[in-house]
Amino acid sequence: MSSFEIKPYPEVWQALDMDVPRFDKMRLMMGDMYAKAFLGQPNRPAAMTYFDNMIAEIHGGRVKELLAAKAEGRPVIGTFCVYIPEEIVLAAGGICVGLCGGSQGSVPDAEKILPRNICPMVKSAFGFKAARICPYFQAVDFVYGETTCDAKKKTWEILDTMVPTYVMEIPQCKNPRDIALWNEEVKDFKAKVESVAGKTISEEDLAGAIKVMNNKRRALQRLNSLRHHNPTPISGKDGLLIEQIAFYDEPVRFTDQVNSLCDELDERIRQEVAVPGKGATRVMVAGTPMALPNWKIHNLVEGAGAVIVNEESCIGTRYFKDLVDETVTGMDTMLAALTDRYKEIDCSCFTPNNERISQVVKEFRDSKAQGIINYSLQFCHTYNIEEIRIRQACEQEGIPYMFIESDYSPEDIGQLQTRVEAFLEQIGE
Amino acid sequence: MYIGIDLGSRTVKMAVWDGERMVDYQIAESGFEPHRQAEKMLSAFTPTAVVATGYGRHLAAEYFADGVITEIKAHAAGIYHHFPGCTTLVDVGGQDSKVIAVNGAGKVSNFQMNDKCAAGTGRFLEIMAGSLAFTLAEFGAAALASEQEVQINSMCTVFAESEVISMKNRGIPRAHIARAVHSSVADRLAAMLARLGYGEMVAFSGGVARNPCMVALLQQRLPEVLVVVPKHPDLTGALGAALHAAKVC
C-alpha cells in the first residue's frame, strides 16, 4: 500500500505553465488519500490494477497522450457536463475530457474571484484553472460549457478570460421547440469541433464514434448490473472510481478494461466472493455528481460497513443509461438521433422532470438496495429542491431515505458519520 | 450492571443501569481527551458491559467500550424508557440538534439533523450567552422573564453574533436580545419538526432541554402537542446506551 504514488511529471507540468511546486504537493496529498481509501479494501478484484494505474498516471501518462494527440492536430476539448455530445469530438478524431472539479484544494483560489455562496464544483473547477493546478485544463484547446445552472453559465464568462470557453445552450423544458433549438446547438457544436480539427466529420466518422460511445455505455451498464447482484462483487468506492475515470480515459481501451473487470466479477459471483461481506447493508446514492477526488459519502458509508450498489448521478447511471440509435443514416438524422439520446438525460435543471423521480425508484428496485442516500452539493438549487419530490416518492414507496447536503470540505465529517451510521441502524431495525 | 456512556462534544455523561433502574450517573467536561475522562468515570464500576454513544463513541470503542450506537438510536431508546407512547423526540446537544421519529417499539423510523453549522445548538446558545455576559443558567431565566423581544434574522452563529453585538450597541436591553436568541432556536426546531412530522407528544432531550425558556418556547410553537422533558434530559443518550447494553450484551 505504501508503494502507491501518483507519478510526478514536472517537465510536462512546466511545459503546460503550471504552478509546479503547488501541484506537486496536491499530487502527494491525493496519492495518500487514494491509498487510504482504496488500496486497503478487502477482496478487491485483480482487474482494479488497471484503474489504480489510471490514477497513478492521472497527472502524467494520460496528459502525455492528450499532448501527443494535439501534436497530431487532433482537438482536445474539456467539458463539465454529460449533455455535451462526445460522439462529435471522437468523430473529428479528438479527445473529450471531463475537467477537474471535485477538490476542496482549489476552492480558496476560486473564492478570490467568485462569490463564496455558489456550487463547490463550479468553484473547485474554476480554482483549478485560476491557480494553474490542473494539467487537463492547461492542455485543452478549449472548454465547452453549457447552461445547466446559473453558477456555471455566469462563471463561463469569467473563465473565458483564462481559457477559450464556448457555451452550448441546453434548454430548460423538453417541448418540441426546445428540442429543435437543442438540435441546432448540436449542429453548432459540430461546426465548432470541425473548425478546430480542420476536417469535416463524415457520416462514417460519426457512425463509428456512436458505436464507440455506445460500447462504452454498454460496458458501464454491465458493470452496474453486476453491482446489483446480492452479495455485490465489487465495492461502491471502486464502482464510483471507474465511473469517474470514464470521463478522462481513452474510450476504447477503457471499454475493454471495464469488460475484463466484468468477466472477473461474473466469475466472482459464481464463486460467491462478496465485497465487503455477505449481509452488508446495501445503499443506493442519488443526486449530484461526485467528481474526482470526491469520495466523501462512499468513504463514510463503506467505512461504516455498508456497501453502495448504485449511483443515480451524472457520474453514474445518468452518464450511461441511454444509448444512441445506431441504425439511422444521413448526417441530419444522425445528429437528431444524438439530440434524442441526450434529451433522455434527466438532470434536475429541466422542468418538469418527472422521469427522474420514477428513475430513482426504478434504480432502487433494480439495485436491490435497502435505502437511498440523496446527496446534493451545497447551493445546487435544482437538486436541492427536487429533493422534496424524491423524498415524497420514497415515503410513498416505503423506501428508507436520507438527504445529505454537503460540499468538499472535511468540517462536517463528524456529523455526517453520525447521520450515516444512524441511517444504517434505522435500516437494520 | 450495565453502563451507557455518552461522549458528547461538551460533556461526558454516564448512566449506570442495574437491570431495573438507573442507580447512578455522572456528568463531566469532555476535556481534551474525552476517552480518558470517560475511563476515570468508569473506574469505580465493574459493569457487565459498556456501550458508548456520542461523538467520541468510536474512540471509546478503541479503548474500553463493548459496543457502539449512534446518539440518535441512544436517545430514542432513552426516551422510550421514560415515555413509551411518545413517537417524536427533539434532542439538542452541544454540537447539533436532531428531530427523531420513533415507532411504537422505540425504534428510529426517521430523523433529521442540522447541517454543517452550529446554529440551533447548545454551542450557539452558549456563544450568545457569552456575548451578552450571561451565565448559561441566567441566560434561560432572563429570556423566559423577558416580555419583549426583538427579531434575530441570521441563522449563522457567526453572523448572529454580529447581529447581537449591533443590537447591544443600539441600546436594546440584553434580556430582550436573549429572548430573541432563544426564539430563533425554537423556530429552527419547529421547522425541523414540521419537515419530519410529529405525534401528540414531543419529548425534549439533551442538555439544552434543561433551559426552561427553550422548553416554554418550543411548547408555545406546538400548541396542539404536549412537550415533555425527562428528569435528566442530558442523560437520555447515556441511559439509552445503558439500556442497549442490557439488551444485547
- Residue carrying C-alpha cell 463514510: A300
Handedness of CA A270, A274, A279, A284 (dihedral sign): negative
Closest residue to B70, CB basis, from A405, A412, A425:
A425
Helices (H), A198-316: 203-227, 236-245, 251-271, 296-303
Q: What is the DSSP letter of B233?
A: G
The alpha-carbon gap from A94 to the nearest alpha carbon of chain B, in Å, equals 42
Residue A354 touches chain B, beta carbons under 8 Å: no
In angstroms, the Cα distances linking A84 to A75, A98, B72, B163, B237 are 15, 10, 44, 46, 51
Domains and CATH numbers, chain A: 10-203 (3.40.50.11890), 207-323+347-428 (3.40.50.11900)
Q: Is the pLDDT of residue A192 over 60?
A: yes
Helix (H, G, I), strand (E, B) or coil at B86: coil
Closest residue to B96, CB basis, from A411, A415, A426:
A415
Q: Which chain B residues are closer than 8 Å to A388 by Cβ?
A: none
Closest residue to B69, CB basis, from A412, A415, A425:
A425
Rounded to whole angstroms, the Cα distance separating A204 from A49 reads: 35
Residue A425 touches chain B, beta carbons under 8 Å: yes
- CA max distance for chain B: 59
Rounded to whole angstroms, the Cα distance separating B68 from B83 reads: 23
| Residue-level pLDDT at A268 | 96
The alpha-carbon gap from B144 to the nearest alpha carbon of chain A, in Å, equals 30
pLDDT in tens, A85-113: 999 999 999 999 999 899 999 999 999 99
| Sheet-wide strand order for B22-29 | B22-29, B11-17, B2-7, B49-53, B67-68
CA-wise closest residue to A51 among A211, A229, A305, A248: A248
- Is ipTM > 0.85 here? yes
CA-wise closest residue to A217 among A176, A246, A178: A246
Name residues 80-99 of chain B within 8 A of A (Cβ). 95-96
- Number of Cβ within 10 Å of residue A180's Cβ equals 12
Contact criterion met (CB < 8 Å) for B116 and A406 = yes
pLDDT in tens, B135-188: 999 999 999 999 888 888 776 777 788 888 899 999 999 999 999 999 989 998
Q: Which chain B residues are closer than 8 Å to A415 by Cβ?
A: 95-96, 113-116
How many CA atoms, within 13 angstroms, populate the side-chain half-sphere of residue A101?
Answer: 25
- Residue carrying C-alpha cell 436491490: A368
Q: Which chain A residues are closer than 8 Å to B237 by Cβ?
A: none
Asked if residue A139 lies in contact with residue A129, where contact means CB atoms within 8 angstroms, the answer is: no
Backbone angles phi, psi at B115, to 5 degrees: -75, -165
Backbone angles phi, psi at A47, to 5 degrees: -70, -5
Contact criterion met (CB < 8 Å) for B108 and A429 = yes
Backbone angles phi, psi at A292, to 5 degrees: -50, 140
Strand ranges (E), A112-225: 142-146, 165-168
Rounded to whole angstroms, the Cα distance separating A21 from A26 reads: 9
Distance of CA A110 to the CA centre of its chain: 21
Q: Which three cell numbers stand for residue B152?
A: 434575530
Q: 3-state SS of chain A: helix, strand, coil percent to 5?
A: 55, 10, 35
- Residue carrying C-alpha cell 483560489: A109
- Beta pairing class for B67-68 and B49-53: parallel
Task: Round the average pLDDT of chain B to a whole number and report it.
Answer: 93
Rounded to whole angstroms, the Cα distance separating A324 from A252 reads: 17
- Number of Cβ within 10 Å of residue B161's Cβ equals 17
Residue A419 touches chain B, beta carbons under 8 Å: yes
Q: Which three cell numbers stand for residue B161?
A: 453574533
The alpha-carbon gap from A139 to the nearest alpha carbon of chain B, in Å, equals 36
Residue B154 touches chain A, beta carbons under 8 Å: no
Contact criterion met (CB < 8 Å) for B108 and A411 = no
- H or E segment to which residue A384 belongs: helix A381-397
| Cβ contacts of A191 within 8 Å, gap of 6 or more | none
Query: Angle A339-A345-A351 (CA atoms, 0-180°, nearest 5)?
Result: 100
Q: Is the pLDDT of residue B130 over 90?
A: yes
| Residue-level pLDDT at B9 | 86
Q: Is the pLDDT of residue A1 over 50?
A: no
CA-wise closest residue to A294 among A240, A225, A258, A343: A240
Q: Which chain A residues are closer than 8 Å to B108 by Cβ?
A: 422, 425-426, 429
- Number of Cβ within 10 Å of residue B46's Cβ equals 8
pLDDT in tens, A389-426: 999 999 999 999 999 999 999 988 988 999 999 999 99
Contacts 24+ apart (CB under 8 A), A122-125: A122/A149, A122/A151, A122/A152, A122/A155, A124/A100, A124/A291, A124/A408, A125/A80, A125/A99, A125/A100, A125/A101
Rounded to whole angstroms, the Cα distance separating A412 from A415 reads: 5
Strand ranges (E), A60-211: 76-79, 95-98, 142-146, 165-168
Residue type, B228: V
Interface test with B, best of A384, A402, A403, A425 (most B CBs within 10 A): A425
Over range B99-111, report the average pLDDT.
94
Helix (H, G, I), strand (E, B) or coil at B15: strand
| Residue-level pLDDT at B95 | 83
Q: Which chain B residues are closer than 8 Å to A429 by Cβ?
A: 107-108
pLDDT in tens, A314-341: 999 999 999 999 999 999 999 999 999 9
Structure pTM? 0.94
Contact criterion met (CB < 8 Å) for B113 and A415 = yes
Residue A405 touches chain B, beta carbons under 8 Å: yes
Task: Round the average pLDDT of chain A to a whole number and report it.
Answer: 96
Residue B72 touches chain A, beta carbons under 8 Å: yes
Closest residue to A422, CB basis, from B55, B73, B115:
B73
Residue type, A374: N
Confidence band (pLDDT; 50, 70, 90) for A246? very high
Rg, chain A, Cα only: 21
Residue A421 touches chain B, beta carbons under 8 Å: yes
Contact criterion met (CB < 8 Å) for A418 and B116 = no
| Residue-level pLDDT at B155 | 67
Handedness of CA A127, A130, A134, A136 (dihedral sign): positive
Asked if residue B17 lies in contact with residue B245, where contact means CB atoms within 8 angstroms, the answer is: yes
Closest residue to A418, CB basis, from B70, B110, B116:
B70
The alpha-carbon gap from A359 to the nearest alpha carbon of chain B, in Å, equals 23
pLDDT in tens, A11-67: 999 999 999 999 999 999 999 999 999 999 999 999 999 999 999 999 999 999 999
| Residue-level pLDDT at A168 | 97
CA-wise closest residue to B13 among B38, B33, B50: B38
Domains and CATH numbers, chain B: 1-83+232-249 (3.30.420.40), 85-229 (3.30.420.40)
Query: Angle A335-A340-A343 (CA atoms, 0-180°, nearest 5)?
Result: 120
Confidence band (pLDDT; 50, 70, 90) for B118? low
- Residue carrying C-alpha cell 462483487: A233
Closest residue to A425, CB basis, from B73, B95, B114:
B73
Q: Which chain A residues are closer than 8 Å to B114 by Cβ?
A: 415
The alpha-carbon gap from B155 to the nearest alpha carbon of chain A, in Å, equals 15
| Residue-level pLDDT at B116 | 60
Helix (H, G, I), strand (E, B) or coil at B100: strand
| Residue-level pLDDT at A120 | 96
Residue A229 touches chain B, beta carbons under 8 Å: no
Backbone angles phi, psi at B87, to 5 degrees: -110, 0
**Category of B19 on φ-ψ map: left (φ > 0), alpha (ψ -120 to 50) or beta:** left
Q: Which three cell numbers stand for residue A174?
A: 423538453
Handedness of CA A354, A356, A357, A359 (dihedral sign): positive
Residue A21 touches chain B, beta carbons under 8 Å: no
- What is the C-alpha end-to-end distance of chain B, expressed in Å? 11
Contact criterion met (CB < 8 Å) for B70 and A405 = no
Residue A422 touches chain B, beta carbons under 8 Å: yes
Q: 3-state SS of chain B: helix, strand, coil percent to 5?
A: 45, 20, 35
- Beta pairing class for B97-102 and B88-92: antiparallel
- What is the C-alpha end-to-end distance of chain A, expressed in Å? 36
pLDDT in tens, B166-178: 999 999 999 999 9
Q: Is the pLDDT of residue B119 over 90?
A: no
Q: Which chain B residues are closer than 8 Å to A391 by Cβ?
A: none
Backbone angles phi, psi at A163, to 5 degrees: -150, 135
Contact criterion met (CB < 8 Å) for B116 and A415 = yes
- Residue carrying C-alpha cell 452479495: A231
Contact criterion met (CB < 8 Å) for B72 and A422 = yes
The alpha-carbon gap from A372 to the nearest alpha carbon of chain B, in Å, equals 13
Rg, chain B, Cα only: 18
Contact criterion met (CB < 8 Å) for A418 and B113 = yes
Q: Which chain B residues are closer than 8 Å to A405 by Cβ?
A: 115
Interface test with A, best of B70, B72, B97, B103 (most A CBs within 10 A): B70
Q: Is the pLDDT of residue B67 over 70?
A: yes
Contact criterion met (CB < 8 Å) for A422 and B108 = yes
